Amino acid sequence: MKKLFSLVFLLLLAGCSKPLPDDKLVYAGEWKSKEMYLLILEDGTVSYQRLQRGGKTSINGPLQEFIGDDFIVGLSFFTTKFNVSQPPTLSNGEWTIIVDGVKLKKTEEDI
């Protein structure tokens, strides 16, 4: 029963995501630091993990919208806003982004 519920939930999540707008496609990719992991797919699916103060926070859900450089992930009333103080930037052949005060580097693997 749990597997069936999980499958239905994942299908609902996939149906709720909106593809990234053309001007935000640079956000797509796998971004990492020692304490944070962020995966943003072009179809609007987001996976996030952060280690902080001895605990772990995880969020997996559809990207709802961009507000400037920031973006909101989740469903209905269960959403999280990611504050982007530096949008994706290419410097010396390396992509970086600063999300919630953490500098992340884009992996070179093609997703």
- Boundaries of every domain in the chain: 2-106
Measured CA distances, 48 to 51, 87, 91, 93, 106 (Å): 10, 17, 24, 24, 14
pLDDT in tens, 8-37: 454 455 556 789 999 999 999 999 999 999
Instruction: State the pLDDT confidence band at 6, using cuts at 50, 70 and 90.
Output: very low
Q: What is the pLDDT of residue 11?
A: 47
Whose CA is closest to 80, among 49, 59, 95?
A: 59
| 2-106: CATH number | 2.40.128
The tokens describing 14, both together, are: 């996939």
Q: Examine the pLDDT at 48 and tell me if it is beyond 90.
A: yes
Residue 111 in this model has a pLDDT that exceeds 80: no
